[in-house]
Amino acid sequence: MSQTGVWIIGARGNVATTAITGACAIGAGVTDTTGLVTARDPYRSLELPEIGDLVFGGHDVSQTSLLSTAKSLSESGTPSAKTIEAVKQDLEVIDKRIKTGTALNCGRAVDEIAEQTLSSHSLSDVVDQIRRDYRNFADDNDLDRVIVVNAASTEPPLENADQYDTLDTFEQAIENNDRGIPASSLYAYAALVEEMPYVNFTPSTGSALGGLRQLADLNDVPHMGRDGKTGETLVKSALAPMFAQRNLRVQSWVGHNILGNKDGLVLEDDDNKAGKLASKGGVLDSILQGEFHNHVRIDYTPPLGDWKTAWDDIRFTGFLDTQMKMQFTWEGSDSALAAPLILDLIRLTAHADDYGNGGLQPQLASFFKSPLGVAEHDLSRQFELLDDYTREHNKERNK
């Protein structure tokens, strides 16, 4: 099987650090694969790259080392100090492969915490440098394939995205140094030009632009996003279909989220928060019928560290106009919920690439709040897409 490299945007962030630490720990045999979808049937029947064999590198605008980030996360309980000690040397080696990235149009909050960036360069120079970093990573590590994963902080939503609806207009914008293009789309463009699969685990624009989707189709490169579905929205996508299927009329669904890590700090900025709220709120609108009050709130709460809590209040009407309610609380480690999904997406995207399945990957819809090219948000039906994909590939392989 081909050697797979993983280039993570935001490589020194909490989620990326947890994913890298987890992959190294699995490879070293000091933890198991709990939390990974690809570790259970029927998906483990696919020919997927071994997690312990993945080679990591990345971009970041922070100079804090992977090891330092891992130790900071350990103060919140995950990963354990024992796990960090077991993979310490791996993290130090990987950290040397992390290059300075760009934070163009990532918002004021990111600008304030960025320590070093490429953002002052022309867009052409930035893209050229990103492409060189991708290629050097592949060459230096003798990789057959590199998968680029965006795990950086959420950018503000891109206004007038239609102006980049074709590849020509997007490339012309780069040539003209259009400073309106966000960093996530520059990273995506560089990946797709280099024919490297791209996964957008954030609500940021990434490869969602029409011109970049056109490029992915032209080069037959797998890509998918947006916004990993890890907590409250995961519950919503499983629970909301119950109300719809039982013909219980939801009158209001209000969710209040608090989190304490750097992502929470970035989301304190209203511009950055807007994209996240749109992604979280849109799931219910596509599942529930009729008008209802749909409200989501996100607040930064520093003492929580890497943990997040969501409290949801649902008011609904039943038979004989009976007014009822349901409330639930979801509490979890933000990074420990997200990291295994990133590893799943790497493995499944590598599989699609092995079989020449370019363009959007609808079978990966269950991993995202706003899956590109997929209107279905019912979690069970999204998993059916992955089941169908798995069955079809196993059938072809066994012919």
Q: Are residues 218 and 354 in the same domain?
A: yes
Q: What percent of the chain has pLDDT over 70?
A: 93
Residue 155 in any domain: the answer is yes
Confidence of residue 262 (pLDDT cuts 50, 70, 90): confident
- 32/30 Cα distance (integer angstroms): 7
Range of the domain at 322: 232-332
* Same-domain pairing of 196 and 290: no
Give all strands of the β-sheet with 307-317 in edge-to-edge order: 293-300, 249-259, 307-317, 323-333
For the stretch 69-112, pLDDT in tens is 999 999 888 999 999 999 999 999 999 999 999 888 777 767 66
Residue 266, pLDDT > 90, answer: no
How many angstroms separate the CA atoms of 188 and 150, rounded? Answer: 8
Instruction: Quote the tokens at residue 232.
Output: 């409250």
For residue 226, what are its two tokens?
């947006």
Q: Check pLDDT > 90 for residue 113.
A: no
C-beta of residue 59 within 8 angstroms of C-beta of residue 7: yes
Q: What is the pLDDT of residue 112?
A: 65
pLDDT of 10 above 80: yes
How many domains, in total, are found in the chain? 2
Tell me if 196 is assigned to some domain: yes
Residues 371-386, mean pLDDT to the nearest whole number: 96
Q: Is residue 363 part of a domain?
A: yes
What is the distance between the alpha carbons of residues 303 and 193, in angstroms, rounded to a whole number? Answer: 42
399 belongs to a structural domain = no
State the pTM of this model.
0.94
In a domain, 81, yes or no: yes
CA 31 centroid distance within chain: 23
Residues 130 and 106 in one domain: yes
Domain boundary among 332, 349, 366: 332
Are residues 120 and 181 located together in one domain of the fold? Answer: yes
pLDDT (tens digit per residue) in 190-247: 999 999 999 999 999 999 999 999 999 999 999 999 999 999 999 999 999 999 999 9
Does 154 share its domain with 277? Answer: no
What is the CA angle 159-160-166, rounded to 5?
A: 130
Residues 57 and 180 in one domain: yes
What tokens does 94 get? 């990987």
> CATH number, domain at 119?
3.40.50.720
Tell me whether residue 165 is in a domain: yes
Say if CB 263 and CB 14 are below 8 A apart.
yes
The rounded mean pLDDT for the chain is 92
Half-sphere exposure of 177 (CA within 13 A, CB side): 5
Cβ atoms of residues 268 and 300 within 8 Å = yes
In terms of domains, do 201 and 344 share one? yes
Residue 3 clears pLDDT 80, i.e. is over it = yes
Cβ of 157: how many Cβ atoms within 10 Å?
Answer: 19
With vertex at residue 158, the alpha carbon angle to CA 364 and CA 300, rounded to the nearest 5 degrees, is 80
- For 115-136, write each residue's pLDDT tens digit: 667 766 799 999 999 999 999 9
What lies within 8 Å, CB to CB, of 294 at 6+ separation is 252, 253, 281, 284, 285
Q: Are residues 346 and 368 in the same domain?
A: yes
Would you state the pLDDT for residue 397?
Answer: 81
- Statement: residue 268 has pLDDT above 90: no
Q: Are residues 328 and 348 in the same domain?
A: no
**Domain boundary at 332, 353, 373, which?**
332
What is the token pair recorded at 90?
A: 């791996």
Which structure tokens are listed for 138?
């592949």
Query: Mean of the pLDDT values across residues 146-150?
Result: 98
pLDDT at 282: 80
- Same domain? For 272 and 326 the reply is yes
Is there a domain that residue 321 lies in?
yes
Q: How far, in Å, are 246, 247, 322 from residue 318 at the CA level?
A: 9, 8, 5
Give the span between the Cα atoms of 346 and 368, in whole angstroms: 14
Q: What is the pLDDT of residue 271?
A: 62
pLDDT tens-digit readout, 282-292: 889 989 988 99
At 19-76, the pLDDT tens digits run 999 999 999 999 999 999 999 999 999 999 999 999 999 999 999 999 999 999 998 8
> Is 274 within a domain?
yes
- Chain-centroid distance of CA 107 in Å reads 18
| CATH code for position 248 | 3.30.360.10
The DSSP string of 154-189 is: PPPPPTTGGGG-SHHHHHHHHHTT-TTS-HHHHHHH
Residue 274 pLDDT exceeds 70: no
Give per-residue pLDDT as tens, 333-374: 999 999 999 999 999 999 999 999 999 999 999 999 999 999
Tokens for 375, please give them.
């209107």
Tracing tokens 């169908």 back to the chain, one arrives at 388
Residues 308 and 368 in one domain: no
What percent of the chain is modeled with pLDDT above 90?
A: 80
**Which of 218, 219, 284, 220 is CA-nearest to residue 253?**
284
Instruction: Looking at the structure, tell me whether residues 222 and 251 fall in a common domain.
Output: no
Beta pairing, strands 323-333 & 98-100: unpaired
For residues 235, 17, 180, 345, the Cα torsion angle rounded to the nearest 10 degrees is -50
Q: Which of 279, 298, 332 is the last residue of a domain?
A: 332
